[in-house]
Amino acid sequence: MKQALEFTPDWFSKPGDSLRALMLRKSIDAQDVARHLDGGMKTLRGLLDGSNPIDDGHAGVLAEAVGGTISFWLKRQEQYDDALERAVDRAATVEADDWLMLPVPGEKPRGRMTQEKKRDEVRRRLRFFNVGTMDAWQIRYGKICTSTLFRTSSTFNSDDGAVLMWLRDGELSSDLVSTKPWNAGNLQDRLDSIRKLSKLKQPEVFLPKLKELCAEAGVAVVAKRAPQGCRASGASRLVAPDKAMVLLSFRGRSDDTFWFTVFHEIGHLILHGARTFVDSDMHGDNLDECENEANDFASRIIVPEQRVEEFKRLRADKFDVIRFSNRVGVSAGLLVGQMQHRDMINPSQLNFLKRRWQWEDLAEVMD
């Protein structure tokens, strides 16, 4: 008589995956779910990313807000917990050192690593990246590191783990952004409205408008400060079959860098589809075809082709630049950045026309 074998899958799926799927299927806004939860959007983010387990109270709210029964949600959490612990058992035994090399948000100095502490740290990483094995992580994230689509800075040493943590954290924040289905044509149609936002001075004014315009085209715009070791300015990525993401770090904290990054990442989405791009230095001599195309796309948004000859005649005079900025409908700082890049003026000239922000000014707009 053959002994029955128990099938133990090596994958796991957190309850937040089911919650996200139901919200998308039923077109339920994150705000509509969050207002029923104690803790609002912060609690919903935890339910989606797996850091906040579903208890009886959460299960009741989810059953009412998105569907399913209370028992369904509690069972879903139980299945995930069991699968996660099986994955931790394996990973802590055979892959712990590899997992511990990956940073996660909010990580503090570890000190002496007991076996239980090691399991806790491995568990955090499996939950954060939502994969059960290092092989699965390599398939989903590791290949980005070796791809030509992954751009690191020629000036700084960019830590791959920090960049991927920033990218994953952005993906999790994009779960909270409700969008229409991704459509490159709809995004193209909104470019003129988006470029006009560069005239607005305050991030708390222009960023919500940017998010709204992009969401109408299926793009979740997420602003998230890059962690130490990550020198990325922006990224673009398809985070679901019908949802794209533009992730912005506000690196440099000046309007010319910020808006060029916005237009550059939009260019990737429109020109290069569902491929993943993480961009640091967007100007240089060794850029590939995709990067040059995205740069050209961004430059044409700032200075329309029909105004290029007029732009080339600009002098290093603030009044000339301001008048031209009013005629073409973008901020003077963006034009200064283009003039410097095209060697029309020195890098030290007219920088006072660029708007600059402090991190404390940006705190309230960061996701």
Query: pLDDT category, 342, cuts 50, 70, 90?
Result: very high
* Chain centre to alpha carbon of residue 146: 19
Q: First CA to last CA across the chain, in angstroms?
A: 59
pLDDT number for residue 89: 94
Predicted confidence (pLDDT) at residue 51 exceeds the cutoff of 50: yes
User: Taking residues 284-288, what's their average pLDDT?
Assistant: 65
pLDDT digit string (tens) for 320-339?
A: 999 999 999 999 999 999 99
Query: pLDDT category, 110, cuts 50, 70, 90?
Result: confident
- Classified as helix, coil or strand, 239 is strand
Is pTM beyond 0.75 here?
yes
Predicted confidence (pLDDT) at residue 4 exceeds the cutoff of 50: no
Predicted confidence (pLDDT) at residue 5 exceeds the cutoff of 70: no
Pairwise pLDDT comparison (53 vs 275), residue with the higher score: 53
Q: Please name which of 99, 140, 142, 141 lies closest in space to residue 119, comparing C-alpha atoms.
A: 99
Q: In what order do the strands lie in the sheet with 277-279?
A: 219-223, 243-248, 234-240, 277-279
- Classified as helix, coil or strand, 157 is coil
CA distance 36 to 64: 9
Pairwise pLDDT comparison (231 vs 248), residue with the higher score: 248
CA distance 267 to 258: 14
CA distance 11 to 133: 8
